[in-house]
């Protein structure tokens, strides 16, 4: 064939690979194994060139390793539970399952013509009962080993999606999917004890040499190790001392007040007989629980009338305020405020006319604190004013360490190491997720389901005509018998956070048809993932949770203790971008723009009407902005190899690449020249 015909050539070889089972992986102890994996997609309906770039990167690695004699595992599956399917069911009718599996079929049909070296025999979706049934079994094992518990907690509540969100799922005070302003609520929730692994997860980052430095830094900051002082303020009224924790005990002589959370036991007790405080607490609890939400919200307070003694001077009395920026889940739920050296405290004190006392000042600048707090770096030399630990000139860290030692020696405080990472709240008040396999019995309490009764399947006959969780209003699904006493009981209606599904799928790929969560022989052979590829946006959520799950699965016996890290190497690829084409309705500049697909535009105008379009510089491909390029149309015009070659050759893989028609055409011409040259050499 003297001319390159992508339609004939690619179809021929793809059929040949399928017939021969070329990419099906089987355990073979005689070969070195290599496991390459791209983060599996959510079946939203169509893939775009961003997906093509991601999977082509993994394909190149897989083919190279095959050529060097490795036994390669390169699987594919679908992260299929979640809110979009429920939202679609509510918007257009139908069932989330039908919407999801239809999208999976469409996306699979788009992907297969790309000729990727994928072992499709291992394909699964996380909404398959065979998958989530094993996830339920894993949950029960984690529950048995003390890694799962249930408690009342103040949580992030998304009032639009009507479900709980983990802190990691709140972005700028809003739900990561709905965009709604998040509120605080107190609910009974299930939690994973990820905080027990805070120090281990943090320390292990140092040894992960083949992970991007930016991802490791993001995780380290999120885990947030700190060394501070914990001590109690004696109450004037004789009540129990108010325990506080601070990372800057060297500023204690600048204390202006003691603040407590609206959810602190003292605040709850006082609000019983104080309607004004009760009203304040109700409003304060509406804010989000993330640090970001707290920092950006207006600082509000309520003077309780209580007073406490300063630990270094019994004649120094401080007022006790309830403040909306203090959470029970951080530290002790109480703080002492030092406004001169903390901007949040300074804003609060200026608002309520509370005193501002300078504790120290910079040697280079003696300007008193006005509207900006002076917070010296821990490495900067400062001069202390009447510092109680006997220091004169020292760095911040020296002062912190000296103050902790002084408090411990004096017997009024103790040094404590804390972490910012909180336990992972996994309960979601939604239907389209993995059911939590427990029942509630009036006699036995909360009882785990028997493994032989798994999977606890989602009912198909649900409706989405009302807000909230359809499982709560299903006429029969909740009713069951207690696994312990056999009496009447009710199933748990909360489902698992969908990030649970993606926290162990890469391990399930080693034996996707096993009747236990893992087949140890297969898992021991294939794990770890040698090369993992995906977006940096998953640095905290998915990647941190997966690291925890790998450790939990070792504790439960589902993984060998050879390595606590699931991914040996991580690569975060750049995005594929494209111009955005938009028009606006005439005579109405305030109306949202109307977006147009690239194939609807030619020479800066709409093909159908000739109307000029506004061209926005390249941005991440997004279905909502319609700046996506359908791989099917590119394959039809040029072939899969052109699409694959362009997304790999036009920009370094860690950087963004802009998709342009001219670039695709150039890639096609290049492949034609290569083919022609090869044909001449062969003949």
Q: Each residue of 5-26: pLDDT tens digit?
A: 888 899 999 999 999 999 999 9
Name the residue among 529, 521, 516 with its Cα closest to residue 556. 516
Q: b/e map of 502-521 (b: 16 or more CB within 10 Å)?
A: bbbbbbbbbbbeeeebbbee
CB 74 within 8 A of CB 117: yes
Burial class of residue 338 (count of CB atoms within 10 Å of its CB; 0-12, 13-18, 19+): buried
The strand pairing partners of 232, in sequence order, are 243
> Does the pLDDT at position 3 exceed 70?
yes
Mean pLDDT on 360-379: 71
CB 190 within 8 A of CB 436: yes
| DSSP assigned state of 607 | T
| Number of residues that make up the chain | 683
Which of 275-279, 370-374, 380-384, 616-620 is least confident? 380-384
CB 114 within 8 A of CB 631: yes
Rounded Cα distance, 21 and 526, in Å: 19
Q: What's the sign of the alpha-carbon dihedral 143, 145, 147, 149?
A: positive
Rounded Cα distance, 571 and 535, in Å: 8
Q: What pLDDT is recorded for position 367?
A: 65
pLDDT band at 481 (very low <50, low <70, confident <90, very high): very high
- pLDDT top residue among 265 and 83: 265
Q: What pLDDT is recorded for position 682?
A: 82
Other C-beta atoms closer than 10 Å to the C-beta of 295 total 12
> Does the pLDDT at position 300 exceed 80?
yes
pTM recorded for the entire structure? 0.87
Q: What pLDDT is recorded for position 327?
A: 85
> Does the pLDDT at position 654 exceed 60?
yes
Phi, psi of 380 (to 5 degrees): -85, 140
225-235 vs 413-419, strand pairing mode: antiparallel
Q: What is the largest CA-CA distance in the chain?
A: 101
Q: Each residue of 231-263: pLDDT tens digit?
A: 999 999 999 999 999 999 999 999 999 999 999
Q: Each residue of 506-517: pLDDT tens digit?
A: 999 999 999 999
% helix, strand, coil for the chain, step of 5: 35, 25, 40
Rounded Cα distance, 204 and 202, in Å: 6
| DSSP assigned state of 477 | T
CB 164 within 8 A of CB 424: no
Rounded Cα distance, 546 and 542, in Å: 6
Q: How far apart are the first and last CA of the chain?
A: 11
Alpha helices in 560-639 (DSSP H): 631-637
The rounded mean pLDDT for the chain is 90
Q: What pLDDT is recorded for position 237?
A: 95
Radius of gyration of the chain, Cα coordinates, nearest whole angstrom: 29
Name the residue among 649, 575, 661, 655 with its Cα closest to residue 51. 575
Name the residue among 338, 334, 329 with its Cα closest to residue 358. 338
């Amino acid at each position: 064939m003297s001319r390159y015909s992508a339609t004939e050539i690619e179809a021929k070889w793809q059929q040949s690979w399928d017939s021969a089972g070329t990419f099906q992986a089987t355990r073979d102890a005689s070969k070195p194994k290599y496991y390459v994996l791209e983060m599996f997609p959510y079946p939203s309906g169509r893939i775009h060139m961003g997906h093509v770039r991601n999977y082509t990167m993994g394909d190149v690695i897989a083919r190279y390793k095959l050529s060097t004699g490795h036994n390669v595992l390169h699987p594919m599956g679908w992260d299929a539970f979640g809110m979009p399917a429920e939202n679609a069911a509510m918007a257009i009718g139908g069932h989330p399952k039908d919407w999801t599996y239809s999208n999976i079929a469409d996306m699979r049909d788009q992907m297969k013509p790309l000729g990727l070296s994928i072992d499709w025999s291992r394909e699964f979706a996380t909404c398959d009962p065979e998958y989530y049934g094993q996830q339920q079994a894993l949950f029960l094992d984690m529950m048995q080993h003390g890694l799962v518990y249930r408690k009342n907690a103040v949580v992030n509540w998304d009032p639009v999606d009507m479900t709980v969100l983990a802190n990691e799922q709140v972005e700028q005070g809003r739900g990561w999917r709905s965009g709604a302003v998040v509120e605080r609520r107190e609910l009974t929730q299930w939690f994973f004890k990820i905080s027990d692994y805070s120090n281990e997860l943090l320390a292990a980052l140092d040894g992960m040499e083949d992970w991007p430095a930016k991802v490791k830094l993001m995780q380290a900051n999120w885990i947030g190790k700190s060394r501070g002082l914990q001590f109690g303020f004696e109450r004037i009224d004789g009540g129990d001392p108010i325990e506080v924790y601070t990372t800057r005990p060297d500023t204690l002589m600048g204390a202006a007040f003691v603040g407590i959370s609206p959810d602190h036991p003292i605040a709850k007790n006082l609000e019983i007989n104080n309607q004004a405080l009760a009203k304040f607490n109700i409003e304060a609890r509406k804010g989000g629980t993330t640090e970001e939400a707290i920092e950006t919200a207006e600082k509000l307070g309520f003077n309780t009338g209580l007073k406490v003694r300063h630990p270094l001077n019994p004649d120094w009395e401080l007022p006790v305020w309830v403040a909306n920026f203090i959470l029970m889940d951080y530290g002790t739920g109480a703080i002492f405020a030092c406004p001169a050296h903390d901007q949040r405290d300074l804003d609060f004190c200026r608002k309520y006319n509370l005193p501002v006392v300078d504790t120290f000042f910079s040697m280079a600048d003696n300007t008193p604190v006005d509207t900006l707090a002076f917070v010296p770096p821990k490495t900067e030399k400062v001069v202390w004013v009447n510092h109680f630990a006997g220091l004169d000139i020292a760095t911040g860290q020296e002062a912190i360490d000296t103050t902790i030692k002084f408090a411990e020696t004096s017997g009024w405080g103790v040094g404590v190491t804390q972490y910012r990472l909180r336990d992972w709240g996994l309960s979601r008040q939604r239907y389209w997720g993995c059911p939590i396999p427990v029942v509630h019995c009036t006699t036995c309490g909360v009882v785990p389901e028997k493994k032989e009764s798994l999977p606890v399947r989602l009912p198909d006959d649900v409706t989405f005509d009302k807000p909230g969780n359809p499982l709560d209003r299903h006429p029969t699904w909740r009713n069951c018998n207690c696994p312990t006493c056999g009496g009447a009981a009710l199933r748990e209606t909360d489902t698992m956070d969908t990030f649970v599904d993606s926290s162990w799928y890469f391990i399930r790929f080693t034996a996707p048809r096993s009747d236990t969560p893992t087949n140890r022989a297969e898992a021991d052979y294939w794990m770890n993932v040698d090369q993992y590829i995906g977006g940096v946006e998953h640095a905290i959520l998915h990647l941190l949770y997966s690291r925890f799950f790998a450790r939990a699965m070792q504790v439960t016996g589902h993984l060998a203790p050879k390595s606590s890290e699931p991914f040996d190497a991580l690569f975060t690829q750049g995005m594929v971008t494209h111009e955005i084409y938009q028009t606006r309705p005439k005579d109405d500049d305030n109306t949202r723009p109307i977006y147009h697909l690239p194939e609807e535009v030619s020479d800066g105008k709409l093909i159908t009407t000739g109307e000029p379009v506004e061209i926005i510089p390249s941005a991440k491909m997004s279905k909502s902005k319609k700046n996506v390029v359908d791989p099917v149309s590119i394959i039809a015009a040029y072939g899969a190899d052109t699409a694959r070659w362009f997304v790999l050759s036009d920009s370094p893989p860690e950087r963004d690449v802009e998709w342009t028609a001219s670039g695709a055409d150039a890639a096609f011409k290049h492949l034609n020249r290569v083919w022609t040259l090869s044909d001449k050499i062969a003949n």
